[in-house]
Amino acid sequence: MDKIKIFHISDIHVGMKFLRYPDSVKNSLIDARFEVIQRAVSVADELKCDIMAITGDIFENIKVSKREVERVTQTLKAFSGSAIWILPGNHDYYNDTLQLWQWFKASMPDHAIILDTPERKRFEIEELNVDIYPAPCDRKHSETNALEWLKQMPVEKDAVNIVLAHGAIKEISPDLNGNYFPMSLEELNALKQDLVLIGHTHVPYPPVAEATAKVYNAGTPEPDGLNYQHEGGGWYIEIDATKRIMAKRIPLGQFRFFDVTLTLSDEVNESMFYGMFSGYPLEKIVARIKVGGYLTQSVFERRQSVYERVKKSFHHLEIEEIALKPKFTREEVDRMFTVGSVPYVLLTKLFDDGDVATAHLALELMHEVMNHD
């Protein structure tokens, strides 16, 4: 049975600056965006894909440099399939005057095509007629999506009909103001075409490893910040002459971001940090760990040296203490208060009763009161 094989990626955001990170981290995150395109090309070739479909936001904005544009087009040259379909997204939207797309066109491989116009295009791939219906973005924001024209078009039953669009799918991404070319799964599933490839939302859809669905959102191939804590990847999709679809999620990302909380009691050591990320190489993790809880006094005093050792194992780690406190002991009460005084009696009783949490609370309150005087 004849079938075509598509490698679908999106939202690479080449040109992101990562300014909040130290230089070495910043540079590796910048490079990772180019490297993931290279990896996507290799994997697509290994899987013998006919098509590489990129559904928008290859670039972070329309002001990227010529060097950045050419680094992308050079990388795409290695793809040995028959075509690369490139849809402008809302970050790298299309109009004829933009340098970005002029540089892109001047340097892109012969088998690449920029889908800059909302009109049907016919390809012949593996003896199948393939009609594509691109819905490119022509601006950064729009309260309506670009699908209207293709809803009006009759489709040819003998062809494989594929939609490529970019925008927020309301069931899977928060677009509170509704100004990112909003669309709905219901709307996409109701289209007459056979396969719908979407970009914009960084989380992939459907949220499974294998699918036979009609609508696919590529998700980002390379995670780009603490608000995206999943793995990066793309879709390998087969569709045959009978319109049967089979898709597989393909991991592509190099780095992972994590924003997590670690609650300590008494002790702190390296393995408590490492244990939170079992299964993923620490040197490829960018993380923020919020540390809270109580540490015994001596541990509390040497916690920074533990942090320093832990940080060396990660690609980048920020440790933020949220109400991390030294743990008071009964000896502390003896040291702080006069024997027989009200706080002394109260706190000693709490410690003797084993109610350390209340003792802490009482100490904190007293501390506050004393500081107010």
Residues at the contact surface with Mn ion, assessed by CB under 5 A: 57, 89-90, 200
Structure tokens at 30: 């910048």
Q: What is the side-by-side strand order in the sheet with 160-166?
A: 121-125, 128-135, 160-166, 195-199, 215-217
- Are the C-beta atoms of residues 299 and 306 closer than 8 Å to each other? no
Residue with smaller CB distance to Mn ion, 141 or 309: 141
| Closest to 168 in 3D by CA, of 138, 194, 192, 146 | 146
With a CB cutoff of 8 Å and minimum separation 6, the contacts of 186 are: none
Q: How far is the CB of 155 from Mn ion (least distance, A)?
A: 26
Q: How far is the CB of 62 from Mn ion (least distance, A)?
A: 13
| Residue sitting closest to Mn ion (CB) | 200
Residue with smaller CB distance to Mn ion, 63 or 302: 63
Residue with smaller CB distance to Mn ion, 90 or 161: 90
Structure tokens at 260: 């997590």
Q: How far is the CB of 56 from Mn ion (least distance, A)?
A: 6
- Are the C-beta atoms of residues 210 and 240 closer than 8 Å to each other? no
Residue with smaller CB distance to Mn ion, 61 or 296: 61
> Phi, psi (5° rounding) for residue 162?
-125, 130
- Residue position matching structure tokens 């319109």: 243
Amino acid residing at 17: K
Structure tokens at 73: 């087009």
Residue with smaller CB distance to Mn ion, 167 or 253: 167
Q: How far is the CB of 209 from Mn ion (least distance, A)?
A: 24
Q: How far is the CB of 186 from Mn ion (least distance, A)?
A: 21
Q: How far is the CB of 19 from Mn ion (least distance, A)?
A: 20
- Are the C-beta atoms of residues 252 and 219 closer than 8 Å to each other? no
Residue with smaller CB distance to Mn ion, 215 or 287: 215
Residue with smaller CB distance to Mn ion, 139 or 302: 139
Q: How far is the CB of 277 from Mn ion (least distance, A)?
A: 29
Q: How far is the CB of 89 from Mn ion (least distance, A)?
A: 4
Q: How far is the CB of 33 from Mn ion (least distance, A)?
A: 15
Give the helix ranges, DSSP H, for 6-112: 23-46, 66-76, 99-107
Identify the helix (H) or strand (E) that includes residue 123.
strand 121-125
Q: How far is the CB of 107 from Mn ion (least distance, A)?
A: 23
- Residue position matching structure tokens 């800059």: 116
The Cα 51–Cα 200 span in angstroms is 20
Distance of CA 146 to the CA centre of its chain: 24
Residue with smaller CB distance to Mn ion, 88 or 89: 89
- Are the C-beta atoms of residues 195 and 162 closer than 8 Å to each other? yes
Residue with smaller CB distance to Mn ion, 90 or 217: 90
Residue with smaller CB distance to Mn ion, 89 or 293: 89
- Residue position matching structure tokens 């936001």: 57
The Cα 86–Cα 53 span in angstroms is 6
- Are the C-beta atoms of residues 33 and 40 closer than 8 Å to each other? no
